[in-house]
Amino acid sequence: MKRESSAGAIVFYQKGAKREYLLLNYLGGHWDFPKGHMELHENPIKTTLREIKEETGLDVKIIKGFERKITYSFKHRNEFIIKDVIFYLAQAKTQKVRLSEEHKGYVWLPYEKAFELITFNKEILKDAEEFLRRKFTRGFTLIEILVVIAMILILFSITTQIFKPTVYLTKARDSKRIADLKALEIALNTYLNVTSSPNLGPINKGVDETSPTIFISIPFDKEDLRNQTLVWGSKTYYFSQASSTEFFKNNGQGWLPVNLSALPYQPLFAYPYDPINSYQNKLFYSYVFKRASSTFEINANLEYEGYKYQGNEDKTSIDGGDNQNILEIGNDKTLMPNNLY
């Protein structure tokens, strides 16, 4: 058994009452804070400052009084590893990020949207926001309140015309969807390449079997679709869902029924899911497989108009699939019923 130590920080930028958090999109597809391994003779704060500089190019100030530690375990090359990670709070002097090659992207978001996007460590982000609210909150005089109200009334009509926050948020959610599906494609292809007898799903539930099934990322205790069916062509498709306590797991019991936990090196420690995750809104991830050919397809619906068919950054009609309106990945992009979304 081996023990490792890492350190990082919840990086935020504060201008007046406006506060935004920095999230990095890691190569595995998840969103998290800047962090990294402690080197020899380093203390956690020195590691944190070095990692932030290397990964983002930012100069930051560590905020005193906040420290959180998490511990988790995993297997790497048949070795059991226990890892400790210490997180601090760090205030950035600017939002100009110079991203390292360890990451695919980054985003600055207010707390609510950052909490929605981040893959792990949600409770640490929540603690950080509560800490900063206490630190930066002060009383306002009546005159200050009246001045602020007057400024809001004057600027509201101008800013709503210039900025479109809804568009920004839909694009941020779609960026996560695109990254998630790419990470899933890499993980399942890795599984197929290193497994001598791969199992892409339960018996009889492949699209070429007696009970063709669509596996979706929505927990059944949120929206239960297990008694519904979908007809496409000459086939009737069934739905499979996991519970809200199991749906993210990568052990074959999650929403995606492939067991990655059996691999010596797991390409994903948890299965990602749609940031909205609603069947009613047609925003969820879906998976089907074909047993005879060891093939699969995973789909997602996008929100941002520019990413949709014939948009100025069209992502859905150029992915090689048979549905120009839906984002499709996999080694056979003709398996999913086209009337699902």
pLDDT digits (tens, 9 = 90+) for 87-145: 999 999 999 999 998 899 999 999 999 999 999 899 999 999 999 998 876 555 666 66
User: Is domain 2-138 given the CATH code 3.90.79.10 in the classification?
Assistant: yes
List Cβ neighbours of 163 (8 Å cut-off, separation of 6 or more): none
| Sequence-separated (6 or more) residues with CB below 8 Å from residue 226 | 220, 238, 239, 240, 241
The region of weakest confidence among 62-66, 72-76, 94-98 is 72-76
Cα–Cα dist 296/329, whole Å: 8
pLDDT(56) > 70 = yes
pLDDT more than 70, % of the chain: 94
Domain ranges of the chain: 2-138, 168-330
Tens digit of each residue's pLDDT (9 = 90 or more) over 160-206: 555 567 888 899 999 999 999 999 999 999 999 999 999 999 999 99
d(CA 72, CA 86): 12
pLDDT at residue 140, as a whole number: 55
